[in-house]
Chains A and B, each alone.
Chain A
Amino acid sequence: MQADATGHFGPYGGRFVPEALIAALDELDAHHRKAMADPEFSAEFGRMLREYAGTPSLLYEAARLSAHAGARIFLKREDLNHTGAHKVRNVLGQALLTKRMGKPRVIAETGAGQHGVASATACAYLDLECVVYMGAVDVKRQALNVARMKMLGATVVPVDTGSQTLKDAINEALRDWVTNVDTTHYLLGTAAGPHPFPTMVRDYVRGIGDEARAQCLDLLQKLPDAVTAAVGGGSNAIGMFQAFIPAESVRIFGFEAGGEGVSTGRTAASITAGGKGVLHGARTYLLQDDDGQTIESHSISAGLDYPAVGPQHAWLHDTGRATYEPVDDREAMDAFLLLCKTEGIIPAIESAHALAGTLRVIPRLREELGREPVVVVCLSGRGDKDMHTAIDYFGLES
């Protein structure tokens, strides 16, 4: 599934940005297309992913979890990548492209700080100046990641407008980009935003699914029955899904952050609970009120706590090729604990949403197929960063 020439996935995507950014987006699109067709870029990106990021990541059969669930569950271990998540793929791709564009400066937005840390890492590795915009509320909540970014040489700019969280950090990064576009690349952290970002980010993270597909064929001599991932903005999910979209026998599930429950309004499930509209440069599903004002999202997982979703997911939803369901905070934390206890793996809370949703759909798949399903779950990141949340949630401090 590809976007049209101007970045539309069906009615979604496109470019809803100030005219001042169009030239930069055109330039970025041209450079990205050229890079994708250039064997030298592929070789260099591949070398960085292999030697620096530690990919291909393992496809691990989680035996005890499988026995518990009545399925064969394979975990795509993106948590073992350098910096602890799939995000390193995106930042290395975009940072390498930035070098090729001859721009010396990178800006990035971050919520909890994971994409900020990944961006700072790639910029240190490739000798680029890095400025990270972060909501003032998040700066206070995530002191450890702020320190990591500073250690890596990045400048962290607190954003004190709006809700002072991720969406406002994106707004501020866009404002910086409008002002400094000649010297600066905006290293967007997810497969959302104006064209070409949804396509470009997907192209850099699609190794997740490409690898998983090859690993399945190698291990099982067949494709899995289903692939699953958590969906916030949706970069790890689109990275997992893209390789399997043409394979009609493979079911695709995306699990959104239900927060306290979609009926409570305190949710981040933009496809399930939101409506069609425009935010951050693209037409997509978003959480909004009757007047089209963005509603603040809520999730226990900072990485999924975003009020919109990448436009390709909106289109995969409308076409029925992928199924999107919400997973509430409580279900996610139950799955978080389950993986710790059964497999000795502490997942990111984002990835715990994918696990929880997978456990929910396995009985459905088993009934449908008349046998134990084979499911590949994108374990998008490790949970070290979430220990303070886990301590609070499970009351571990005493």
Chain B
Amino acid sequence: MTPMFKKPALVGYLPAGFPDVPQGIAGIKAMIEAGVDAVEVGLPYSDPVMDGPVIQRAAEKALAGGVRTRDVLATVEAVSGMGVPVVVMTYWNPVERYGVGAFARDLAAAGGAGLITPDLIPDEADEWLAASDEHKLDRVFLVSPSSTDERIAMTVKHCRGFIYATAVMGVTGARDETSAVAPKLVARVKAVAGALPVGVGLGVRNAAQVAEVASYADGVIVGSALVSALGEGGVQGVRELTTHLVGGLSR
């Protein structure tokens, strides 16, 4: 399979259904028009243990507004024809409840590129490995600074599209300083990743941080800052922040 993006890339995250489904779609479209290289669509979940306050609150608002799994797939369908890969980021239980095979089928039909699974490790992923093969979907697992070399190699082996390096020990959320451990982690991953691009997430919120992360990683992932921008400045806020962030990529 082909890499999902090429260095240097900006990957933007927004949850489906926040603040409602149409505005969520408009936010993602704005992000794409302003130059992101790949899109992560979040599936709002009641118990998001990896997420910091910004994404938690957005998920709560989306769920309170009645967003359903099918709305997430509809969001993917609405933005998947715009020339950049669209991947869903989701905790595992909603996929299992939908049916792993059915979800893979419907995601592929909606034009989705694959899944990022923050609480599913390859060790527990047999059903997803099979379904993603059948429907030719990418599967993005996470590695962290605490992962052993053995686990990094094992996780890389099961990834397709890109591999997601969580740059700091902690939950999602914008930080003033990017992590000092991130370059070290990326180097450990790159040693075994071959052509698989490495995306770095957690904490990036401005162009300077984008430039810094892009100096050692293939993809810079921005989530909470874009969610805040959508919440506070609407679609225009997303467009402006994305334009600013893209400026951090030297291309």
Scan residues 2-56 of chain B and give those whose CB is less than 8 A from a CB of chain A. 45-50, 52-53, 56
Chain A: residues with Cβ within 8 Å of the partner, total of 36
Determine if B120 and A16 form an interchain contact, defined as CB atoms under 8 angstroms apart: yes
A16-32 interface bits toward B, Cβ cutoff 8 Å, 1 = contact, 0 = none: 11111111100000000
Q: Point out the residues of chain A lying under 8 angstroms from B151, CB to CB.
A: 19, 22-23
Taking the complex as formed, is B141 at the interface, i.e. its CB lies under 8 A from any CB of chain A? Answer: yes
Determine if A277 and B97 form an interchain contact, defined as CB atoms under 8 angstroms apart: yes
26 A-B pairs (CB sep. < 8 Å): A16-B119, A16-B121, A17-B119, A18-B50, A18-B119, A19-B144, A19-B146, A19-B147, A20-B169, A22-B147, A161-B56, A161-B57, A162-B56, A162-B60, A171-B49, A175-B171, A277-B93, A278-B92, A278-B119, A280-B47, A291-B69, A291-B94, A291-B98, A292-B93, A292-B96, A293-B63
Q: Point out the residues of chain A lying under 8 angstroms from B166, CB to CB.
A: 18-20
Min distance, Cβ B103 to any Cβ of chain A, angstroms: 10
Q: Point out the residues of chain A lying under 8 angstroms from B63, CB to CB.
A: 293
Taking the complex as formed, is A167 at the interface, i.e. its CB lies under 8 A from any CB of chain B? Answer: yes
Taking the complex as formed, is A353 at the interface, i.e. its CB lies under 8 A from any CB of chain B? Answer: no
Determine if B49 and A22 form an interchain contact, defined as CB atoms under 8 angstroms apart: no
Determine if A288 and B97 form an interchain contact, defined as CB atoms under 8 angstroms apart: yes
Give the residue of A15, A178, A288, A290 whose beta carbon is less than 8 angstroms from that of B121.
Answer: A15
Give the residue of B45, B68, B155, B170 whose beta carbon is less than 8 angstroms from that of A19.
Answer: B155
**Given known contacts A178-B169, A179-B169, A179-B170, is B94 in contact with A292 (CB within 8 Å)?**
yes
A167-193 interface bits toward B, Cβ cutoff 8 Å, 1 = contact, 0 = none: 110010011001111100000000000
Min distance, Cβ B197 to any Cβ of chain A, angstroms: 18
- Beyond A168-B47, A291-B98: 9 further Cβ-contacts under 8 Å? A15-B121, A17-B121, A18-B50, A19-B121, A162-B56, A280-B49, A288-B93, A291-B97, A293-B63
Taking the complex as formed, is B118 at the interface, i.e. its CB lies under 8 A from any CB of chain A? Answer: yes
**Given known contacts A171-B49, A293-B45, is B141 in contact with A19 (CB within 8 Å)?**
yes
Give the residue of B47, B60, B143, B171 whose beta carbon is less than 8 angstroms from that of A179.
Answer: B171
Chain B: residues with Cβ within 8 Å of the partner, total of 41
What total count of A-B pairs have CB within 8 Å?
Answer: 115
10 closest cross-chain pairs (CB), A and B:
A292-B97, A20-B144, A179-B170, A292-B94, A23-B146, A292-B93, A293-B46, A278-B93, A174-B49, A294-B46
Taking the complex as formed, is B123 at the interface, i.e. its CB lies under 8 A from any CB of chain A? Answer: yes
Taking the complex as formed, is A279 at the interface, i.e. its CB lies under 8 A from any CB of chain B? Answer: yes
Binding site for B on A (CB under 8 A): 6, 14-24, 161-162, 167-168, 171, 174-175, 178-182, 275, 277-281, 288, 290-294
Taking CB as reference atom, which chain B residue is nearest A280? B47
Among A6, A19, A182, A288, the one with the most B-chain Cβ atoms within 10 Å of its Cβ is: A19
**Given known contacts A288-B97, A291-B97, is B144 in contact with A171 (CB within 8 Å)?**
no
CA distance A288 to B63 in the complex (A): 14
**Given known contacts A16-B119, A277-B96, A293-B45, is B170 in contact with A178 (CB within 8 Å)?**
yes
CA distance A16 to B151 in the complex (A): 15
Determine if A20 and B94 form an interchain contact, defined as CB atoms under 8 angstroms apart: no
Determine if A291 and B171 form an interchain contact, defined as CB atoms under 8 angstroms apart: no
Taking the complex as formed, is B177 at the interface, i.e. its CB lies under 8 A from any CB of chain A? Answer: no
Taking CB as reference atom, which chain B residue is nearest A163? B46
B67-102 interface bits toward A, Cβ cutoff 8 Å, 1 = contact, 0 = none: 011000000000000000000000011111110000
Taking the complex as formed, is B227 at the interface, i.e. its CB lies under 8 A from any CB of chain A? Answer: no
**Given known contacts A22-B151, A178-B169, is B92 in contact with A162 (CB within 8 Å)?**
no
Q: Point out the residues of chain B lying under 8 angstroms from A6, CB to CB.
A: 123
Q: Point out the residues of chain A lying under 8 angstroms from B53, CB to CB.
A: 161
Determine if A167 and B123 form an interchain contact, defined as CB atoms under 8 angstroms apart: no
